[in-house]
Amino acid sequence: MTYMWINAKDDVTKWFWTLVILSVTPPVFSNTALLIIDVQNCFLPGGSLAVTNGDHVIPVINDIRRKYENQISLTVLSQDWHCQDHVSFASQHAGKQPLETITLDYDRNGHLCSNKTTCQVEYSLNQTLWPDHCVINSTGAEFGSRLDHKTDDVIVRKGYHCEIDSYSAFFDNGGFTKTELEDILNAHNITTVIVTGLALDFCVYYTSKDAKKLGFDVYMIKDASRPVIQQNVPTVIKDLESLGVHVIDSSSLVNFISSSSAATTCLTMSYIYISLLLTVLYLGI
C-alpha cells in the first residue's frame, strides 16, 4: 500500500491513499475496565444469601456505565457458579450452620482431603459456610434483572470447582486455579480496573486485592458495593488502602476518569498532529 501511495501520480489518488492510511490506524487509547462482581439474584433481596441493600448497588453501577461509557473500554461481569453440593454450603457439613467457619485440608494438587489417613495434607484453608446459593443454571445464579447489559459484556464464572470456594474473580481461594479474567484484561490492554458489586467484604475485597497484586491500578467504588457483615468494612477498607487500592465513592470517580481522559485526549491529539504532519510532508504542501 505504501508503494502505491508513494508512486501515486495525481493528488486525488494521494489524498485517497492518505485517508485510507489514517483510517486503518486505530486511535484507541482507553485502558479502563469496569468489573461488576456477582450482582446475581442469590445475593439480592429475596435471594438465598441476600446482602442487605444489595439491590442499591444496581443504579449506581448502571450510572457509572452510562456516565463513563466513552472511558470504559471493557465491562466484565463475574458470576458465582456453584455445584449443587459445593463445599462452601453449610448443608454439606453435618451439624453446621451458615456463617460458621471450618477448616478444609487439601493435598499438593489442590484436591480436598476427605480422608486424612490416606491423604497428604499440604494446605489448610479456613472456609466460611454459606447457605446454598448461585447453583449452576438456577434462577438464583442469574444476574439481577435491573442491571444494564450490553452484547459485548464479558462474563467470567467462578466457584464451579466443587471442592474449593472462589471469592476472587481471578483465583480460587487456595490459589490452585485461575479464571480467564487476567488474560482477558491483558488481551484488551487494560491497566486500570473499577471494581463494583457484591459483596464488599468478600468477593469485591478479594477481587480488588488480587487485581492490585497483578499490577492493575484499582478503584474500589464504596457506594457501588455492600457488605455481608457491616462490621468487616473498616478492616477491609484499611487493608485495601494499605495495598494501594483507591477506595472512593462513585461521585469522586469523575476526578480520576477526567485525569485519565486528559491523558487520552493528549495521546489522541498527538496522533492527529503526527498524522497531519506526515500527510503534509508526503504531499509536499
Cell 456453584 -> residue: 82
**How, if at all, do strands 217-226 and 246-248 pair?**
parallel
CB of 159 to Zn ion, least distance (A): 5
Contact 169/2 with Cβ under 8 angstroms? no
CB of 88 to Zn ion, least distance (A): 6
Closest CA to 194 of 29, 45, 30: 30
CA-CA distance, 163 to 161, in Å (whole number)?
Answer: 6
CA-CA distance, 1 to 7, in Å (whole number)?
Answer: 10
Cell 453435618 -> residue: 94
**Those residues with Cβ within 8 angstroms of residue 18's Cβ, 6 or more apart along the chain or in another chain:** 5, 279, 282, 283
CA-CA distance, 21 to 27, in Å (whole number)?
Answer: 12
The answer to whether residue 38 is catalytic is: yes
C-beta closer to Zn ion: residue 80 or 172 = 80
163 contacts Zn ion (rule: CB under 5 A): no
C-beta closer to Zn ion: residue 80 or 182 = 80
C-beta closer to Zn ion: residue 166 or 192 = 166
Strand, coil or helix: what is 116?
Answer: coil
CB of 42 to Zn ion, least distance (A): 8
CB of 126 to Zn ion, least distance (A): 15
Catalytically annotated residue among 38, 80, 132, 201: 38
Count of residues near Zn ion by CB under 5 A? 2
Provide the 10 A C-beta neighbour count for residue 278.
13
The answer to whether residue 203 is catalytic is: yes
Stretch of 60-68, 74-82, 179-187, 260-268 lying at the interface with Zn ion (CB under 5 A)? 74-82
Planar angle of CA 93, 121, 163, nearest 5 degrees? 40
CB of 181 to Zn ion, least distance (A): 16
C-beta closer to Zn ion: residue 54 or 159 = 159
CA separation (Å) from 146 to 61, 104, 143, 226? 10, 37, 9, 17
Phi-psi region of 149 (alpha: psi -120 to 50; beta: other; left: phi over 0): beta
CB of 171 to Zn ion, least distance (A): 14
C-beta closer to Zn ion: residue 34 or 203 = 203
80 contacts Zn ion (rule: CB under 5 A): yes
One character per residue 101-140, x = contact with Zn ion (rule: CB under 5 A): ----------------------------------------
217 contacts Zn ion (rule: CB under 5 A): no
Stretch of 23-31, 72-80, 170-178, 206-214 lying at the interface with Zn ion (CB under 5 A)? 72-80
The residue sitting closest to Zn ion, measured at its beta carbon, is 80
According to CB under 5 A, which residues from 41 to 70 bind Zn ion?
A: none
Catalytically annotated residue among 158, 172, 210, 217: 158
Helix (H) or strand (E) holding 278: helix 253-283
201 contacts Zn ion (rule: CB under 5 A): no
**Residues making contact with Zn ion (CB under 5 A):** 80, 159
Please identify every residue annotated as catalytic: 38, 158, 203
